[in-house]
Amino acid sequence: THGVVPEHFTLYKEVQKYWYQWDAYARICLLVAILHFVHSLAFYGLGHINVELRCFWVAYAVGFLLMVLHGLLMNFDLINAGNKEL
């Protein structure tokens, strides 16, 4: 029949109510980890390009672009999308 939902689908739906807090916590932890990684790439780029290549403007441009990426990641993941439910 068309309208019948399998039993394991409804059981899974009921269980999902209990772990959404951990899902939100995991998303926050991954966001913070990615932001730290992007920030560390910016600092590494500043140091490496300045020391190895002596190209100061290139180092500043790379740092600037990575900080723009940092800001965009924060904006895209933390923005309030009109109180839409997840």
Non-local CB neighbours of 79 within 8 Å, separated by 6+ positions? none
Residue 16, pLDDT score: 85
Residue 38, pLDDT score: 95
With vertex at residue 27, the alpha carbon angle to CA 13 and CA 69, rounded to the nearest 5 degrees, is 140
Q: Is the pLDDT reported for residue 36 higher than 90?
A: yes
Q: Report residue 10 as tokens.
A: 């409804």
Residue 48, pLDDT score: 93
Q: Report residue 77 as tokens.
A: 């993941």
Q: Report residue 51 as tokens.
A: 């020391």
| DSSP assignment of 4-56 | PPPHHHHHHHHHHTTTHHHHHHHHHHHHHHHHHHHHHHHHHHHHHIIIII--H
Tell me which of 61 and 19 has the higher pLDDT.
Answer: 61
Residue 82, pLDDT score: 59
